[in-house]
Chain A
Amino acid sequence: MELHDHGLADLRRLLQKKEISAVELTTHFLQRIRSVDPQLRSFITLNGENALVQAHRADRQRADGSTQALLGLPIAHKDIFSTRGLRTTCGSRMLENYIPPFDATVVERLEQAGTVLLGKLNMDEFAMGSSNETSHYGAVRNPWDTRMVPGGSSGGSAAAVAARLVPAATGTDTGGSIRQPAAFCGITGLKPTYGRVSRYGMIAFASSLDQAGPMARSAEDCALLMDAMAGHDPRDSTSHPQAAGQFSAALDRPVRGLRIGVAEEFFADGLDPQIAEQVRAAIAQLESLGARIVPVHLPHNAVAVSAYYVLAPAEASSNLARFDGVRYGHRSQHADNLQELYQQSRFEGFGAEVRRRILIGSYVLSAGYYDAYYLKAQKVRSLIREDFRRAFAEVDLIVGPTTPTPAFALDAKTEDPVSMYLADIYTIAVNLAGIPALNLPCGFTREGLPIGMQLMGNYFADELLLAVGHAYQQATSWHLQRPDLAEVQG
C-alpha cells in the first residue's frame, strides 16, 4: 500500500507516531497530483510552494509538542472557498484573476487545526451543475472511467479524493453537490445540517440552501474534518449557536436498535435497477447490524426539483449581481457606457448555465410572477419540511439511493438541462429541508462505476449519520476500492 492509499485517519496516526513527516506527505501528494491530475483536471490552482511552507511549519510545531487535531494533514478546498492570497475562481471566467484578501471561516478553521492546503479544486461554475462540465477550467474526468463525468458541482473534490490525489477535501452542497459527485466517484461525503458549518467566505450560490461539508474516503475521515469545520460563526447570521459537535467521539454509537426508514418514493420509475439492487442490499446489511427497517412516506419529494429550480435561481440571480465588473472580477474591454459595461462583463464572464439560472431567477422574482413561482415554491418547501418532520417522528434515519443513475458520459446531458437537473432528484429535498445527509459507497455497476446510498437524518443528526456510516464501513469494503489510474508525466 502506497502512502496516498491511506485515509486521513491513518495518515494522522502515522504523523502522530512520527513514522512520516508532513513535508514527506505534502511532497508525495504534490508529486502525485502533478503526475495523475493531467488526465482528470481536478485542480484549478496548486498551492505547491506555500503548502511546503505550511508542512515545514507543521513538522516544527509537532516537534514543539503541538497536538493540533489535523496537524500536517494535506487537504484541498473546493475553489468556492475564499483563500487569502490564493486565487479563488469559483470555476468561472468572471473570477479568473481574483485573489481574495481574506479567508473563509472553513479555511481558517481547518488551517487552525493544522492542515496543509495543497490547492483549489475544480467545480461547476458558481456551483451550478451536476457534472462539472460548466467549469471554465475544463470538465473534470471520473477516475473510475475517464469518459464519464465525476458529478457536480464538487466534482473536482470528489475526483481528487477518489483518485488519491488528496486524502480529504471540502465541498459544498446546495442541491446535492457533495453527495452526487461522492456517489459518482465512490467516496464518502456529508452535507451537514444547515447552519452547522459557516458560510462566511464561501461564494454564495443559493444562501438558504448552501452548506459546506467534508468529502473523504470514509465516515471516520469525514468526522475528523467536521470536528474542525463545524462551529458557530458570528460572521454568518445563519450559523447555528450550537453548531459545534464531537463527531469523531460519537462514531462508536451502535446501529443496533435504530429505526431506519425506507421511502418507496426513492425507488420509483427512473431508478437504475443496478442501483436499486445494491442499495437494497445495503439496507439489508444495516438490518443485519441490528437496525429495524420501517417504511416511511415523503409524498412531496416528486415536486422538490421543481421548487428547487425556482428558489435556487431566485437567490442566485441576486447573489451574483455583485459580479458587475466595477470593483473586481472580469471587466469587458468592449463597453462604451455603464449599461454595456454591465451587459458585456457579465455576458463574457459568466457561462451559459450561470446565465440561464440568472434569467430564471430574475423571472420568478419579477413583478406579476413572484406569487406564482417564488411564493408557491416556498410553500412547497414548507410541505417538504413537514414530510421529513412527520417521517422523523417514526424513524431515526431514512435511507435510499443518492442518485438515479451512475456517472454518465461527458456531453451526454449538456444539451438537455432538465435531464441534468433530474440527476439531483434524490438529493434536493434534503437541502430544501435543511437536514443532514451522507453519501456512502455501497457497490459498483457491472461496468465498474460506483454506486452510492444516501443516509438522511433529522436536524443535528450529523453525528448519528457518521456513526452509522462508520459502522457500515467497518462491515463492508466498498469505500476501500481504488480506481486504476496510470501515472503520466504532467
Chain B
Amino acid sequence: MSWEVVIGLEVHVQLNTQSKIFCSCPTRYGAEPNLHTCPVCLALPGALPVLNAAAVDKAIAFGLAVGAEINRRSIFARKNYFYPDLPKGYQISQYEIPIVGRGQLLLTLADGTEKVVGITRAHLEEDAGKSLHEAFSAETGIDLNRAGTPLLEIVSEPDMRSPSEAVAYLKKLHALVRYLDISDGNMQEGSFRCDANVSLRRAGEPFGTRAEIKNLNSFRFLEKAIEYEMERQQDILESGGKVVQETRLFDANKGETRSMRSKEEANDYRYFPDPDLLPLVIEESHIETVRASLPELPDAKKQRFMEAYGLPAYDAGVLTSSRALADYYEVVAEGLDAKLAANWLMGDLLGALNRSGAEIESCPVPAGQMRKLLQRIQDETISGKIAKEVFDVLFEQGADVDDIIERKGLRQITDPAAIARLIDEVLAKNPGQVADYRAGKDKLFGFFVGQAMKASQGKANPEQLNRILRERLDQPS
C-alpha cells in the first residue's frame, strides 16, 4: 500500500496598507535601515499601539472572498519571545479569536478536476524587523523598517494530498490577494511567504506526525520542499523509524530541508490578551460596506468569461488567473473573436512575457495595441502569420500596429489579379512539377502554395491564394 501525503499551509501575506498596523510609519520597502521607525515600532518605553483600520478592512475583504465568518469580536494577544528584530519582546497577533473564521478556496487542478480546500482561520498580526548579517563583521545589524508591517496569516486545513495541489492552492491564494488588492504579493520581497505542514500516512489511516517547513518563498520551492520531505519521511517510515515533530528549514540551494528545532525545544510563547488594545469589534453594517466594495472575484470572473465570451473552462481559468491579465483580455477581446483573442494572449503574449521574465502589469504591449493587431487580422489587413511578425516588433520595440504594418510593407495582398500574377510566375518557373501534379501527384499542391506565398513575402491572402492556385492548376493547359 502506498503512502499518502497530507499537507496544510500557513501563508503570511503582507497587507499593502500605507502605514504600519500599530503606528503611522510608512510601510514602503527598500528604504535606508531604520528610517521608517517611531517610538511605537521601536518599542520605546511608554509607547502604545493603535490599530490601523485599513488593515482590518483588508482582512475583512479576504474573509468575505473565501466565504468565511467574520468574527464580530476578535482579540489581539501577545506572543512573547526574545529576538533582536522583535523590539517589544513580543509580537502582537491574534490567538484564540481571530478576525476571520472558517472559509474555503476552490481549486482547479491540472487535470481539470475541482477541489475544495478548507481555510481554518486568518488572523492579523505585525511583522518583525530584519537582522542583517552581511556588511557587518562579527556584528549583526537590526533594521526595523519592516517591524509593524501588517500581516494576514492564513491557515489552511490539512486538505492537500500532493505537492501540485499545494502549489495550486498557493497560486490561487496569491491570485486572490492581488485581486482583492490587499497585498502586492511580491514573493522576492517577502510580501507573500509560506510554511508547509507535511506528513505521510497510509490511505484511510489517521494523520501521521508532521514536520513544519519554513521559509518557502516561491511556488517552485514549495513543490521541491514537499517532494524532498515526502522522500525523507518515507525513508524513515519504511526503515521502521518514527517521524519527529519538528520545525525544518528549506535550503533552496541544496534543495533539501534540515531540522531547525524539535517540539521539545519549541518556545512557550505565553500568549495572553494584549491589555494595550481593546477587543476588535466590527459592526455588521461595516462588514456590508466592505462587501459592497469587493471587486469581482476570480471564480465569478471565470464563470463570466465562459458565458460571455464562450471560452472553454481552461482558457477562462488561465485568463482570470490574475486580475491584470483578465482586465487586459477584456480590453483586447471587446467586440472581436473571443477565442482568437484568448489564443493570442495565452500563446504569444504570455510566452513572450515568460521569456522576458516580465509580468502582465509591466507588459510592453498596451492592451489597445494588442487589440488593434487582432483587428487587423480580422479585417484581413494582415494574415495571422504576418501578425506574429508585427507582434514581435510590437513587443521588442513598441510603436503602433498600423505604423509597423505600413513601415514594413506587411499589408496583405488581397487583389485577385495580383495573386494570380504571382501564381502564374510560380507555375511558369516549375513546368515539371506542374506536369507531375496534373498527372495525379496531388501532394505537390502544398509545394505550389509555399512557393507562391514565398514570392509574396508571406503577404498574400491565404484563402485567395489557395482558391486561385487550384483554379489555375485544375484548368487544362
Contact = CB atoms under 8 A, between A and B. Distances in A.
B446 to A, nearest CB: 75
Given A237-B276, A338-B84, A365-B270, A322 B43 contact: yes
Interface stretch (A69-77, A99-107, A162-170, A481-489): A99-107
Nearest to A202: B46
A23 to B, nearest CB: 31
A102 B39 contact: yes
Given A101-B44, A324-B82, A327-B87, A207 B275 contact: yes
A78 to B, nearest CB: 12
Contact of A342 (B51, B82, B87): B82
Contacts of A365: 80, 270-272
A367 B80 CA distance: 12
A98 B43 CA distance: 13
Contacts of B50: 234-237
B80 A321 contact: yes
B437 interface: no
Contacts of A199: 46, 48
A28 to B, nearest CB: 31
A481 B44 CA distance: 41
Interface residues of B, number: 28
Given A236-B48, A318-B78, A366 B270 contact: yes
B interface majority secondary structure: loop
B42 interface: yes
A148 interface: no
Nearest to A328: B44
Interface string B19-63: 000000000000000000001001111111111000000000000
Contacts of A281: none
A132 interface: no
A314 B272 contact: yes
Interface centre among A207, A237, A342 (most CB of B within 10 A): A237
Contact of A238 (B42, B88, B278): B278
Interface centre among B78, B89, B275 (most CB of A within 10 A): B275
Interface residues of A, number: 44
A371 to B, nearest CB: 12
B434 interface: no
A315 B78 CA distance: 10
Given A201-B47, A237-B277, A362 B142 contact: no
B265 interface: no
Interface string A215-258: 00000000000000000001111100000000000000000000
A395 to B, nearest CB: 29
Contacts of A314: 272
B47 A326 contact: no
A310 B88 CA distance: 21
Contacts of A201: 46-47
B45 A88 contact: yes
A203 interface: yes
A237 B44 contact: no
A388 interface: no
A337 B452 CA distance: 80
A90 B46 CA distance: 11
A326 B45 CA distance: 13
A331 B122 CA distance: 38
A140 B90 CA distance: 34
Contacts of B205: none
Interface in B394-417: none
B84 A367 contact: no
A95 interface: yes
Interface in B257-290: 268, 270-272, 275-278
B45 to A, nearest CB: 4
A323 B89 CA distance: 8
Contact of B80 (A104, A237, A318, A370): A318
Contacts of B271: 365
B131 to A, nearest CB: 10
B268 A367 contact: yes
Contacts of B49: 237
A201 B40 CA distance: 10
B217 to A, nearest CB: 25
A102 B142 contact: no
A266 interface: no
A326 B272 contact: no
B89 A321 contact: yes
Nearest to B34: A327
A462 to B, nearest CB: 21
A144 to B, nearest CB: 32
Given A207-B275, A237-B50, A237-B277, A321 B90 contact: yes
Interface centre among A234, A320, A367 (most CB of B within 10 A): A367
A237 B51 contact: yes
Interface string B58-94: 0000000000000000000010101010011110000
Nearest to A199: B48
A53 B48 CA distance: 30
A367 B267 CA distance: 10
Given A100-B44, A102-B44, A202-B46, A321 B278 contact: no
Interface string A353-373: 000000000100111001000
A374 interface: yes
A322 B270 CA distance: 15
Nearest to A88: B45
Contacts of B277: 237-238
A203 B45 contact: yes
A185 interface: no
Contacts of A137: none
Given A237-B51, A318-B80, A321-B82, A207 B89 contact: no
Contact of B142 (A88, A90, A202, A326): A326
Contacts of B78: 318
Contacts of A236: 48, 50
A340 B46 CA distance: 26
Nearest to A339: B82
Interface string B132-157: 00000000001000000000000000
B272 A321 contact: no
Nearest to B277: A237
A200 B38 CA distance: 14
Nearest to B43: A322
A78 B275 CA distance: 23
A32 to B, nearest CB: 29
A208 interface: yes
Interface in A244-302: none
Nearest to A329: B45
8 contacts: A82-B46, A95-B45, A101-B44, A314-B272, A322-B89, A324-B84, A365-B272, A367-B268
Interface of B: 39, 42-51, 78, 80, 82, 84, 87-90, 142, 268, 270-272, 275-278
